[in-house]
Amino acid sequence: MKILIVGSGGREHAIGWSLAKDGRVAKLFFAPGNAGTSALGENLPLTVTDLAGIKAWCERERPALVVVGPEAPLCAGLVDELATLGVPAFGPDKSGARLEASKIFTKDLLLRAGIPTAASERFTDIAEAKAYCAARRYPLVVKADGLAAGKGVIIAQSLADADAALDQIMARKVFGPSGDSVLIEEFLRGQEASIHAVTDGTDYVLLPSSQDHKRIRDNDEGPNTGGMGAYAPAPIVTAPLLAEVEATVIKPVISALRKAGIDYQGVLYAGLMLTPEGPKVLEFNCRFGDPETEVLLPLLETPLLDLLLATVERRLGRLDFQLKNQCALTVVLAAPGYPEKPVTGQVIHGLQGASPMLFHAGTTRQDGKVIVSGGRVLAATGVGHDLYDARRRAYKIAADIRFEGKQYRLDIGKKALDLLERDA
């Protein structure tokens, strides 16, 4: 069968890597893909937001399945467009993708369903928002309502920080119309964790828990990024805690979506804060995380194609879903200057003979060489019998790759290993 994967990052390369191992897949296409995906299939000259172009290609080529990686085309309604052609697509339609497209929509859904989350207020008037902030204790969290490429959540340590965040979001419109409305939330304390569920709208399966690393430098210092590494399963998410999340978050949100008339199929990615009072939802995403995908997919025992087809065909409840009893860890290699002003154009060395789980993100082929073309360049994933083994393998892969100005964190997984040693 022919499959189209929409996206250009490490997530999409990992999806392609998983599907390319399946003998049922005749050919993979990527829109637009990267240097790594070009070795798995054919990259198409289509951007992720070129819905008309993607739809026209699908009408002509009739792929058996389209897998939509990033949130932007989901929120723009790509799945809805493909449905008019009768082309199956993995991912929610536009109404379901509002879980990520609007933080206010999601907050309302959570509150109606009684799902634990941070207390908040929403504003469309900047003066009212500033007056509210002037009467609050700090820190506070200021969130642009809509999509902001992962940069629309600002932790304000003081009133001055809150005012600056509101000016940035609501006055200067650095995120465009996504800043027409804001949520101002209480600051939750604890460790963050991610739970990915795949649902066909009725039934669901849980993928391993994971934790990622947002800050650019070791010890969680420096500015936020799209993610500098991740590992799975996360030791902090014990079996009882996972059962609690399933009962208080995953099941209720699927039920709440159905009650709202939303036929949601695809990924439900819950970003959680593990507070002293229990897990609380920070946000929901409507697609696989990145770099979480790079550690989740290598842990599937059930072929990814089986999981995707069972989802789009609404028969997930009959799938014998199995996971490997292993751990995975990924280390992101970033361009110099990332995340503020990435410097690109460097030749990448050490790719010949590299692990197939060296997933490309910001790369392109030029004159027979692989070139840095984005901020997050590669994700080096190791899989092992435990987290120590997975970490050793990932860092070995990362160390063998060379490009000018390469930066990466040296402490991915350290918190998890410290926890394991304390509990030993």
Q: Which residues contact 96 (CB under 8 A, 6 or more apart)?
A: 257, 262, 263, 264, 265, 266, 286
**pLDDT confidence bin for 121, thresholds 50/70/90:** very high
- Would you list the DSSP string of 364-385? EEETTEEEE-SSEEEEEEEEES
- What mean pLDDT is predicted for residues 69-84? 97
- Would you list the DSSP string of 286-307? SS--TTTHHHHGGGBSS-HHHH
- pLDDT at residue 111 is higher than 80: yes
**pLDDT confidence bin for 152, thresholds 50/70/90:** confident
- pLDDT at residue 151 is higher than 90: no
Residues 181/145, Cβ–Cβ less than 8 Å: yes
**pLDDT confidence bin for 308, thresholds 50/70/90:** very high
Long-range contacts formed by 134-140: CB under 8 A, 24+ apart: 134/159, 136/184, 138/162, 138/187, 139/187, 140/184, 140/185, 140/186, 140/187
Percent of the chain with pLDDT over 90: 96
**What is the longest distance spanned by two Cα atoms in the chain?**
61
- pLDDT at residue 149 is higher than 80: no
- What mean pLDDT is predicted for residues 85-107? 97
Please state whether beta strands 278-285 and 266-275 pair in parallel, antiparallel, or not at all (unpaired): antiparallel
- pLDDT at residue 424 is higher than 80: no
Q: Each residue of 179-234: pLDDT tens digit?
A: 999 999 999 999 999 999 999 999 999 999 999 999 999 999 998 899 999 999 99
Q: For residue 423, what pLDDT is reported?
A: 81
**pLDDT confidence bin for 271, thresholds 50/70/90:** very high
**pLDDT confidence bin for 252, thresholds 50/70/90:** very high
Structural domains of the chain, ranges and CATH numbers in brackets = 2-91 (3.40.50.20), 125-180 (3.30.1490.20), 191-423 (3.30.470.20)
Q: For residue 324, what pLDDT is reported?
A: 98
Calculate ∠ Cα 300-304-308, nearest 5°: 130
Q: For residue 300, what pLDDT is reported?
A: 98
Q: For residue 400, what pLDDT is reported?
A: 97
Q: Each residue of 7-51: pLDDT tens digit?
A: 999 999 999 999 999 999 999 999 999 999 999 999 999 999 999
Residues 70/287, Cβ–Cβ less than 8 Å: yes
Q: Which amino acid is at 189?
A: R
Closest CA to 412 of 129, 241, 218, 273: 218
**pTM to 2 decimals?**
0.96
- What mean pLDDT is predicted for residues 357-383? 97
- What mean pLDDT is predicted for residues 354-375? 96
Q: Each residue of 164-175: pLDDT tens digit?
A: 999 999 999 999
Cα 10 to Cα 36: distance, rounded to the nearest angstrom: 9
**pLDDT confidence bin for 250, thresholds 50/70/90:** very high
**pLDDT confidence bin for 374, thresholds 50/70/90:** very high
| Residue pointed to by tokens 């070791």 | 218
**pLDDT confidence bin for 84, thresholds 50/70/90:** very high
Q: Which residues contact 60 (CB under 8 A, 6 or more apart)?
A: none
**pLDDT confidence bin for 280, thresholds 50/70/90:** very high
- pLDDT at residue 278 is higher than 80: yes
Stated as kind and residue range, the H or E segment containing 270 is strand 266-275
- Positive or negative torsion for Cα 256, 48, 225, 39: positive
Q: For residue 347, what pLDDT is reported?
A: 98
Q: Is 176 exposed, middle or buried (0-12, 13-18, 19+ CB in 10 A)?
A: exposed
Percent of the chain with pLDDT over 70: 100
- Cα dihedral 268, 273, 279, 280, rounded to 10, equals -70
Dihedral class, residue 72 (left if φ above 0, else alpha if ψ from -120 to 50, else beta): alpha
